[in-house]
Amino acid sequence: MFTIHPIEEQDREAVLAISEGVGVFTPEEVACVDDLLQVYLYKPEQQDYTFIGAYNQSGSLLGYVCFGPTPLTKGTYSIYWIAVSKSAQGQGVGRALLDWAEQYLRAACARLLILETSSTPEYRPARRFYKKLGYKGCTRVPDFYSPGDDLVIFYKALR
Fold of the CATH domain 3-157: Aminopeptidase (3.40.630)
Residue 70: the pLDDT is 96
Q: Give the pTM.
A: 0.95
Q: What is the pLDDT of residues 1-13, one digit of tens each?
A: 899 999 999 999 9
Residue 40: the pLDDT is 97
Residue 44: the pLDDT is 87
Question: 3-class DSSP state for residue 72?
Answer: coil
Closest among 98, 150, 125, 96 to 24, alpha carbons compared: 125
Q: What is the pLDDT of residues 118-142, one digit of tens each?
A: 999 999 999 999 999 999 999 999 9
Residues 6 or more apart in contact with residue 90 via CB below 8 angstroms: none
* Domain residue ranges of the chain, discontinuous segments joined by +: 3-157
Mean pLDDT to the nearest integer, 7-24 = 97
DSSP 144: E
Residues 6 or more apart in contact with residue 60 via CB below 8 angstroms: 14
Mean pLDDT to the nearest integer, 13-42 = 97
